[in-house]
Amino acid sequence: MSERKRLHPITCITNVLKQIRGMIIPLIGIFMIGHKSDSDADWISLITTGVAIIIVLFSGIAKWLRFTYRIEEGELRIEYGLFVKKKRYIPLERIQSLSFSEGILHRPFGLVKVVVETASSNLHEAEAELTAIKRSDAADLEKKINASKGKQEIMEEEMKEKEIQHYHITSKELLIMSATSGGIGVIFSAILAFLSQLDNLIPYKKLFNEAGAFIQGGIFFVISMIFLGLLIAWVISVLITFLKYSDFTVSEIEKDIIISRGLLEKRKITIPLNRIQAIRVSENPIRGLLGYTSVFIESAGGNVEDKESRNILLLPMVKKESFAEILHRFLKDYHFSVKFKKPPLQARVNYLMREIIKVAPIIVILIIIFKTYGLFSLFLLLYPIIIGHFRYHSSGWHIYEQQLTLRYRVFLKHSIYMRKNRIQSLEASSTWFQKRKQLSSIHSTVKSTGLGMKTNVRYLSESDVETIFKWYFPK
């Protein structure tokens, strides 16, 4: 039995910051209402804000005082709760993985954040989370979990000797990944959302009037400002991605994959090999042109709200001709050098019509409203035709011994590598129009966070779908 331990006092600060982050919008709303009204309302909004902050401070301290953890009788026992005391007992042998991360607040004090996950972790939260504990305590917890599973205790020096590094992101790969991350839309939307909350503090009307007098109808200035805003958002996106994935390393120790990354916030994730349900290779169109792709792990456990546990990034940027060789070093049960069989030629029309139908109502409405000028909307048909063409050529399937591989495209091109014993369900569907052309669609599901990961490949030939079913349901 170990003594009860509390988290590090820095947890108070993280608790307070987490609650304040959730209160930012309501507090801004209260402040805006007070700003619009008289001075009395100003005082009321300030007092309300002050009281809310004081409550949050006391709540953060109280939560820290009430939270304790210990290891007793082969269980990780956690007790917490502000008003109602709750207890959570987790058998050590049920713990599948520990994830470690070091934020800006953790590193000066030699602390780590530990996320405990089991196969039955809640969909919306991890099984347990130790916000800030000493590195030595985290290492001790990991040793006891390994001991409960019958694993021999390995000294740190011996562990380093057994560790095999399979991948480390290069400066070139990190730079290309940051430049093509696609986070510009998120950053730009966040900036607009923030500015929309400050409409009473910033005199937009006056600024626009003065800008209008300066611009005097000059469209070049407006385009330049939009371009500058997008450029700033892109630079911020590049910087965030660079800091997040810097020093990305994939290693193997015995039967675990260790993923570590981050410059400001260091994060370390341990994934047991037996927890892997499928491998997903995703290709961004821009990165694809440059010859790169990304590899993800679909694993059992984790929680829906944590994007990291939903989509575990295994190889963030890797040459398309190299990923199969890298993965085969530690995923020997999988076969990655596959030649896909495409849908039949008669399926091409189905792929095109599926996309054209989505755009057709918009074109009809524009022609009705704008008459002759509305005919220019016919150029919109180029988009579904191009998308349908690429989706047809990107779709395919392949069977190799005990592995099924399906490939499809939404915007990104995805290739899903699934072992037969990991596939939970396999279904086929076809409409009346598909049956006339002897076409059918295949749908597979593997266990993953939430309701599982579903893969759909449309408009395969009926004979191909029958071949897949005979492989999965042998007589």
List, for residues 69-104, the tens digit of each pLDDT value.
Answer: 988 888 889 988 877 888 888 888 888 778 888 888
Q: What is the DSSP letter of 403?
A: E
Encode 18-39: b = buried (16+ Cβ within 10 Å), e = exposed: ebeeeeeeeebebbbebeeeee
CB 301 within 8 Å of CB 312: no
Tokens of 49: 């804000």
> Tokens 């985290």 belong to which residue?
138
> Tokens 């987490």 belong to which residue?
18
Q: What is the DSSP letter of 93?
A: G
d(CA 340, CA 346): 17
Q: pLDDT by residue (tens digit) across 405-444?
A: 999 999 999 999 999 999 999 999 998 888 899 999 999 9
Band the pLDDT of 183: cuts 50, 70, 90: low
Q: pLDDT by residue (tens digit) across 261-298?
A: 998 888 988 888 888 999 999 998 889 999 999 999 98
- Check residue 34 and give its pLDDT: 54
Band the pLDDT of 221: cuts 50, 70, 90: low
Which run of H or E residues covers position 288?
A: helix 285-289
Q: Which residues contact 307 (CB under 8 A, 6 or more apart)?
A: none
Q: What is the dihedral of CA 157, 170, 284, 238, to 10 degrees?
A: 100
Q: What is the DSSP letter of 84?
A: S
Rg of the chain's alpha carbons, rounded to an integer?
Answer: 27
d(CA 114, CA 144): 14
Q: How many angstroms separate the Cα of 474 from the Cα of each of 60, 189, 397?
A: 58, 51, 18
CB 343 within 8 Å of CB 396: yes
Lowest mean pLDDT among 298-312, 421-435, 439-453: 298-312
Locate the domains of the chain by residue range.
10-153, 176-245, 249-343+395-472, 347-391
Give yes or no for residue 230 having a pLDDT over 80. Answer: no
Average pLDDT, the chain: 82
The burial class, CB within 10 Å (0-12 / 13-18 / 19+), for 271 is buried
Lowest mean pLDDT among 3-7, 192-196, 319-323: 192-196
- Check residue 304 and give its pLDDT: 47
d(CA 153, CA 236): 44
Sign of the dihedral defined by the CA atoms of residues 49, 51, 56, 61, in that order: positive
- Phi and psi at residue 417, to the nearest 5°: -105, 115
pTM value is 0.79
d(CA 446, CA 455): 9
CB 103 within 8 Å of CB 265: yes
d(CA 195, CA 177): 29
Please tell me whether residue 304 adopts helix, strand or coil conformation.
coil
Give the strand order in the sheet containing 439-446: 423-429, 439-446, 453-461
